[in-house]
Structure 1
Amino acid sequence: MILITGANGKTGRAVIKALLSKGERIRALVRRTEQIEDIKSLGEMEVVTGDMLDQKAVNEALVGIRAVYHICSAMNPDEVQIGQIIIQAARLAEVEHFVFHSVIHPVIQEMPHHQKKLMVEELLVNSDIPYTIIQPGVFMQNILESWKMLSEKGIFQQKYFTTQETRICMIDLEDLAEAAAIILTHPGHTWASYELSGPENLSLSDMLAAMEHHFGHEIKVETPQDEMFAAQLKKRGSGDYQINTILKMFQHYNEHGSIGNSNVLTWILGRKPNDFSSFIHRTLRL
């Protein structure tokens, strides 16, 4: 049986669907009981509830588990402590394979969430548990947060790009989930760290060209100021740590971009990863 932590997020749900398509037995760990029915709508699986800061609850979630795919919620200030707890539980349960969902370029320490993920990577490497560390780039699906305005008004709201030089290597979440399922169900992937990126290092003009091709009209760009963006995040319930971390992330992207290479993902999938244009085309057909 495979345990997925952070199971009700978009990444957890995608990985679960990919594993279920392979006939794998899944245990999903969610935080609240009201999330159980929603996650069960994905298919047949066991669902347990618990706070990942609760060692006892995490220990119980790991009982009888062969492999773990560990996802911590985005920009979580307690990520390192959560990592310590679940690694301890995995050691106690004698888990055969621990896959950690990290981030591309965790060595970039000016982004606090990268710093925390690198610390968890170190804990895992030193744990003696057979591991795989997955370091994915920015998800193409992140633009879906502004999809309503994009599809209804032709406006792309974004914070990634402020100059023509900025380039971002995005990965389709469906490709990430397929790769994760392969890593969890095929031998030969332990004791490895994989940087997973899509096939393009995209500029804003590249993204707009793909959008305009599939939408059939001009797309305008809006880049909210930090103060307005922070207020929107606060309204959605984000705390100060999350807001400050997200702003630092976008500042870094604007100054340096986030460049990646798709060779590793291509090797794992056995095919070329999906490009941004195919993602837009697929999303419009949904």
Structure 2
Amino acid sequence: MIATTGATGHLGQLTVYALLDQGIAPQDIVALVRDPQKAASLSALGVQVRRADYTQPETLKTALEGVEKVLLVSSSDFADRVGQHRHVIEAAKQAGVKLLAYTSILRADTSRLSLAADHKATEELVRASGLTFVFLRNSWYMENYNPAQAVQHGAVAGSAGKGRVSAAARADYAAAAAAVLTQPGHDNAVYELGGDEAFTLTELAAEVQAQSGRPVTYQDMPQETYAQMLRGVGLPGVVADMLANSDVCLAQGDLYTESRDLSRLIGRPTTTLKEAVKAALA
């Protein structure tokens, strides 16, 4: 059996679908969720739905019974992300899981992103556990950008300067996760994942303008100004600060990769900027 945590979230759910596309029988897929009622659509497909809460270790031990491989989708809780991940890692070891794949961040061991510290610490926990692992070090998601909002305001805002980001669609990252969970030859591998064609936020704005027919420009601003803008539109301070910091690090190259690991794993080119903008505006 193959399990994925966070299976009602964007990436986790897409991974379940990708496993089904790989020909894995629904009954051999375990969707680990905090609220099983929110996974009715997965149950309807024949997927096993089990309650698993990162903050409640006893649920994790039960949920991982009989599971051979597990995808640990990183927690979105900034308060104690590493502690939550530790619970899953320990439960996986107790359950005899043979492979743990973890969604980390690009070059987690050297990245300057504030996000990277938790990912680096989690990778260290996984290595120390003795579990066979795969680190899926994801760059940015295409879905982090909102072309419709850019059209509405006539601008893409950020602090990324002329930096290039190797963003890819969530579905691409999910397909990569399904590949390492279903195919041999990935034991203790570390993959630096990103889109085939990196782009600047100026190029993003130009593509949105070209497809929408409305004027859209990139507005670059200092880190704190951008963070204040994000707070002003309702984002929590910790999230606003993280996004602004990520943009500054993007400008320095921390979200850029030429590895092509992602397209090799999924066996096709990654989603292009043009395709992503088209899908978002639709």
Aligned counterpart, 2:136: 134
The answer to whether the 8 A contact 1:91-1:129 is kept is yes
**TM-score of the aligned structures, taking structure 1 as reference length:** 0.85
3-state DSSP of counterpart to 1:102: strand
Residue 120 of structure 1 deviates from its aligned partner by 0.7
Aligned counterpart, 1:83: 85
Structure 1 unaligned regions, length at least 5: none
1:117 to 116, 119, 138: 119
Aligned counterpart, 1:58: 60
Between 1:265-274 and 1:195-204, the stretch displaced more is: 265-274
Residue 106 of structure 2 corresponds to residue 104 of structure 1: yes
The size of the alignment, in residue pairs, is: 275
Describe the shift of the 1:160–1:197 C-alpha distance in structure 2 as closer, same or farther (beyond 3 A).
farther
Map 1:174-185; keep pairs closer than 5 Å: 174-185=171-182
1:260 to 237, 257, 260: 257
Residue 38 of structure 1 deviates from its aligned partner by 5.5
Structure 2 unaligned regions, length at least 5: none
Describe the shift of the 1:241–1:225 C-alpha distance in structure 2 as closer, same or farther (beyond 3 A).
closer
Residue 277 of structure 1 deviates from its aligned partner by 1.3
Aligned counterpart, 2:70: 68
- Taking every aligned residue pair, what percent have the same amino acid on both sides? 23
3-state DSSP of counterpart to 2:74: coil
Residues in 2 aligned to 1:230 and 1:108: alpha-carbon distance in whole angstroms: 28
**TM-score of the aligned structures, taking structure 2 as reference length:** 0.86
Residue 255 of structure 1 deviates from its aligned partner by 5.0
CA RMSD of aligned residues (A): 2.4
Could you give the per-residue CA deviations for residues 216-243 of structure 1, whole angstroms, max 9, x where no partner exists? 4432345673223124344xxx4x5444
Aligned counterpart, 1:149: 149
Residues in 1 aligned to 2:263 and 2:253: alpha-carbon distance in whole angstroms: 25
Amino acid at match of 1:119: A
Residue 30 of structure 2 corresponds to residue 27 of structure 1: yes
The answer to whether the 8 A contact 2:75-2:85 is kept is no
Aligned counterpart, 2:245: 248
3-state DSSP of counterpart to 2:167: strand
3-state DSSP of counterpart to 2:271: coil
Residues in 1 aligned to 2:258 and 2:10: alpha-carbon distance in whole angstroms: 23
Aligned counterpart, 1:159: 158
